[in-house]
Chain A
Amino acid sequence: METRIEINCTTGEVTEIELTQAELDQRETDRIAYEMEQANKEAKAADKATARTALLQRLGITEAEAELLK
């Protein structure tokens, strides 16, 4: 059973409430959105690394030598 804690700032009452189906659905939506964002970020990083490797090969320098240029 998944729950949320509701803290009423006016009355001070604290209630543990079981998540509704709509809230569970929202969590699933959030999970998918987060995983997609992470996957996109990883894909961009992988593309950048591939492009960097290709560029270093064209330039004929090593990764360590490229670091010296920074």
Chain B
Amino acid sequence: MATTFTLIKTYTLATATASFDFTSIPSTFTDLCLKLSTRSDYTQIYDPIGLQINGDTTSTYYTRRLYGNGATATSDAPSNPSTVAAIGLSVGASSTASTFGNLEVYFPNAFGSTQKSFSCDAASENNATTAYATFTANLWTGTAAISSLKILSANGTANFVTYSSASLYGILKA
């Protein structure tokens, strides 16, 4: 049980943007939790969300993924290692208008000196047959304390749309 679960910072987009970048994350916690509510202009019903730590764009991210779309369930490992951690599928432009996907990422021992594992769960939203639920286990092989997080649309083209939001929480002694 967490001793504290403190909102560090939250932000809701007023204009479309390529990424949320949390910088200068205080190291006064033990764990971090990131909560997203996003929709992008990617021309699919889904949008693959990516995450990078401490500005690291090298091939240091590994992902194991389990996801379902209402018809089939799939387990796979996207191209590993990758330059971005695949943390889940959110909502793209072809999903029902004004719907947003939700996604949570939990970073235990975010400020230690070992490689960082983190887990993610996501659900997209769509008033149709197909929508996605995603669960991933991720690893960043960097060993530095987490000081910044970049959240982006991993397909390299899309922008998060207005009213997408990101909230970062600090947890002490979970």
Q: Do A and B come from one complex?
A: yes
Q: Determine the chain B residues whose CB is within 8 A of the CB of A12 once the complex forms.
A: 9
Q: B3 an interface residue at 8 Å Cβ cutoff?
A: no
CB of B97 to closest CB in A, whole Å: 23
CB of A12 to closest CB in B, whole Å: 7
Tell which of B76-84, B88-96, B103-111 binds the partner.
B76-84
Q: Is the CB of A28 within 8 A of B156?
A: yes
Distance between Cα atoms of A31 and B153 in the complex (Å): 10
Q: Is the CB of A33 within 8 A of B79?
A: yes
Q: A53 an interface residue at 8 Å Cβ cutoff?
A: no
Q: B101 an interface residue at 8 Å Cβ cutoff?
A: no
Write out, one digit per residue, whether chain B residues 140-174 have a CB within 8 A of any chain A CB (1) or not (0): 00000000001010111101000000101000000
Query: How many cross-chain pairs have Cβ atoms below 8 Å apart between A and B?
Result: 75
Q: Is the CB of A7 within 8 A of B21?
A: yes
Q: Is the CB of A6 within 8 A of B21?
A: yes
Q: Is the CB of A10 within 8 A of B18?
A: no
Q: Determine the chain B residues whose CB is within 8 A of the CB of A8 once the complex forms.
A: 23-24
CB of B171 to closest CB in A, whole Å: 14
Q: Determine the chain A residues whose CB is within 8 A of the CB of B22 once the complex forms.
A: 7, 9
In the complex formed, the residue of B with least CB distance to A22 is B57
In the complex formed, the residue of B with least CB distance to A38 is B155
Distance between Cα atoms of A30 and B158 in the complex (Å): 11
In the complex formed, the residue of B with least CB distance to A6 is B21
Write out, one digit per residue, whether chain A residues 29-47 have a CB within 8 A of any chain B CB (1) or not (0): 1111111010000000000
Q: Is the CB of A30 within 8 A of B18?
A: no
What is the interface of chain B, defined by CB distance below 8 A to chain A? 8-9, 11, 13, 15, 17-26, 48, 50, 57, 78-79, 82-84, 150, 152, 154-157, 159, 166, 168
What is the interface of chain A, defined by CB distance below 8 A to chain B? 2-12, 14, 16, 19, 23, 26-35, 37
Enumerate 11 A-B pairs (CB-CB under 8 Å) in ascending A order: A4-B17, A4-B18, A4-B150, A5-B11, A6-B21, A7-B20, A26-B57, A30-B83, A31-B157, A32-B156, A37-B79
